[in-house]
Amino acid sequence: MGTFRIVGVIGAATVASALLQGAPVPTAHAERCPDAKVIFARGTTEMPGLGPTGDAFVNSLQSQVGPKSVEVSPVNYPATTDFRTAVDGINDARAQILATAASCPDTKMVLGGFSQGAAVMGFVTANVVPEGVTALNVPTPMPLDVADNVAAVALFGKPSARFMRAINDPQIVIGPKYVDKAVELCVDDDLVCDPDGRSFGIHSRYPEVGMADQGATQVAHKLQASWAADAAEADEPVTPAPAEAPAPALLSVLAPADVPPAHIPGATPGPTGPPPGPAPAPPSSPPFAP
């Protein structure tokens, strides 16, 4: 117990988790941007890192996307029964997402979480501050275009509206830009996520019942579809804009009506005498002299 206290004090929680649970440790300065990046928030009272559900999910996902590179980064927050500290997780996840979008715009992000961590990620995607929450107490919603960098949102055991009311917290509403990207999984009768659930023991069994693998499969499909769409867009030929037709030349000087333009071959000048009309009468002869 003392060792863990020391680790927490020196702020090396993520590294300790990697040593204890075998979780991959993200490098601060990667040599190149990964094809995908998983940002995952663990559940309540789980050791720092990804947690058992997060570990199972990531291991399965990495095996399903083949040669694609997948970087993993846990959300750094207390994950205690003092649910007010979930805001720390929202802040940390938000900062990681924005930093990745800025430094690696081609990387496809996967946002994930289990239990309290699922609530954290759900709130991160929200486009408005939840009703009843003071805006000064929570982070500003992320810019809407950041959703373009997110391929999937995987939420395991996300607390139901019933559960959130029980702990006096607002309902979790996924932001509209992330709804089609979301994969939500809940074990039947789970007290936390099932609106009619009665069992708390089942809540910790997502890896055992195969839901971590199930979630990974759905996320892998979303990643593959996103990569395929990018490849198709890159291969699409660019159609050049049609050239504008030259404007017709204008005559700088208009020729007089009775003189054909000189540039028209075979033209002859028109008559220059008086205009046609009846011939004038001849003058009358003077009378003969007597």
Residue pLDDT, tens place only, 90-149: 999 999 999 999 999 999 999 999 999 999 999 999 999 887 777 777 889 999 999 999
Which domains are assigned to the chain? 34-233 (3.40.50.1820)
Q: Is 81 left (phi over 0), alpha (psi -120 to 50) or beta?
A: alpha
Active site residues: 115, 190, 203
Residue 225 to residue 32: CA distance in whole angstroms: 22
Residue 178 · residue 153 · CB < 8 Å: yes
Average pLDDT of span 181-192: 97
Q: Is 139 exposed, middle or buried (0-12, 13-18, 19+ CB in 10 A)?
A: middle
* Packed helices 86-103 and 116-125: angle between N→C axes, nearest 10 degrees: 50
Provide the pLDDT confidence category of residue 249 given band limits of 50, 70 and 90.
low
Residue pLDDT, tens place only, 252-284: 444 444 545 544 444 444 555 555 555 555 554
- Phi and psi at 146, nearest 5°, equal -65, -25
Tokens representing residue 186 in the block: 């809940």
Residue 150 · residue 219 · CB < 8 Å: no
Q: Is 18's pLDDT higher than 80? A: no
Higher-confidence residue: 234 or 29?
234
- Phi and psi at 15, nearest 5°, equal -65, -40
Instruction: Among 12-21, 34-43, 242-251, 268-277, name the most confident range.
Output: 34-43
How far is C-alpha 210 from the geometric centre of its chain's CA atoms? Answer: 29
Residue pLDDT, tens place only, 48-106: 999 999 999 999 999 999 899 999 999 999 999 999 999 999 999 999 999 999 999 99
